[in-house]
Amino acid sequence: MPKLYIGNKNYSSWSMRPWVLMKQAGIAFEEVMVPFDTMDADAGFKKTIRAVSPVGRVPVLEDGAIVVYDTLAICEYLAESHPDKALWPRDKAQRAHARSICAEMHAGFGALRSHCGMNIEADLREQGRIILRDKPEVRADLARIVQMWSGLLETHGGPMLFGEFGIADAYFAPVGVRIRTFGLPVPAAISAYIERVQQLPGVKAWIDEALVEKRFVVIDEPYRFER
């Protein structure tokens, strides 16, 4: 059985993506939780992850002698290993589109990710109001998300971005979490999509476990511990 190394469920958006994809798709795996700490080079987290990955980050998928240590690469590996699951859309043009938006997420939306870090357990609606007021780059990222999701849901008719659940929905699941945590305003159709995703068994399992985790890390809590 493959092993998936992940960080704290409350914070690790990159770990969340392949975890919920595998859970929702019914792909069996062993979870290896490596809690975040100081992130120093000699810290426990870095030592543990560097033993399986040269980059020292999560997630990491270990499947026998094969080690895949990038979120998008893990998703591609899973799609190739489980073609029956149709993790990418079945249509060629839709597959190309889904890959494009996942790559856009992988490399972009830096303002949203920087200012609205994933923190499932927290209520940061007041901080979200201030961030939107003061950070035009976050407003631009949010507008692009709304534009992207609205177009896909209208084109494919839902309930997921490309009709069926797949990599694209898993890839943007942490964005939905951020929108909820920070109370970022989105149209009703986008809010409904976020709710549908968060009620999927695989996504709900991650969120439920994050809510009871209580492994608070100072570097991931700029609001909880600010003085």
DSSP 62: E
Backbone angles phi, psi at 225, to 5 degrees: -110, 10
Amino acid letter, residue 182: F
pLDDT at 40 over 90: no
| Structure confidence by residue, pLDDT tens digits, 17-31 | 999 999 999 999 999
Please list, in sequence order, all residues whose beta carbon lies within 8 angstroms of the beta carbon of residue 130, skipping any fewer than 6 positions away. Answer: none
Q: What percent of the chain has pLDDT over 90?
A: 90
Supply the pLDDT for residue 108. 96
Supply the pLDDT for residue 227. 41
Query: Comparing C-alpha atoms, which of 193, 22, 11, 5 is closest to residue 119?
Result: 11
| Structure confidence by residue, pLDDT tens digits, 106-160 | 999 999 999 999 999 999 999 999 999 999 999 999 999 999 999 999 999 999 9
Supply the pLDDT for residue 218. 80
Q: How far is residue 143's CA from residue 184's CA, in Å, rounded to a whole number?
A: 11
- Mean pLDDT, to the nearest integer, of 94-101? 98
**Buried b / exposed e along 30-63 (16+ C-beta atoms within 10 A):** eebbbebbeeeeeeebbebbeebbeebbbbbbbb
Please list, in sequence order, all residues whose beta carbon lies within 8 angstroms of the beta carbon of residue 191, skipping any fewer than 6 positions away. Answer: none
- Mean pLDDT, to the nearest integer, of 159-186? 98
Q: How far is residue 183's CA from residue 135's CA, in Å, rounded to a whole number?
A: 15
Supply the pLDDT for residue 175. 98
User: Domain spanning 3-85 has what CATH number?
Assistant: 3.40.30.10
Q: How far is residue 194's CA from residue 184's CA, in Å, rounded to a whole number?
A: 12
| Structure confidence by residue, pLDDT tens digits, 124-134 | 999 999 999 99
Backbone angles phi, psi at 21, to 5 degrees: -60, -50
Residue 128, classed as helix, strand or coil, is helix
pTM of the model: 0.94
The alpha helices in 27-166, defined as continuous H runs, are: 44-50, 71-81, 92-107, 110-115, 125-134, 136-156
Residues in the chain: 227
Supply the pLDDT for residue 37. 87
Supply the pLDDT for residue 91. 97
| Greater pLDDT, 220 or 210 | 210
Domain ranges of the chain: 3-85, 92-211
* pLDDT band, residue 225 (cuts 50/70/90): low
Reply yes or no on domain 92-211 having CATH 3.30.930.10. no
Torsion, CA 56, CA 167, CA 172, CA 62, rounded to 10: -20
Q: Do domains 3-85 and 92-211 have the same CATH topology?
A: no
CB 176 within 8 A of CB 184: no
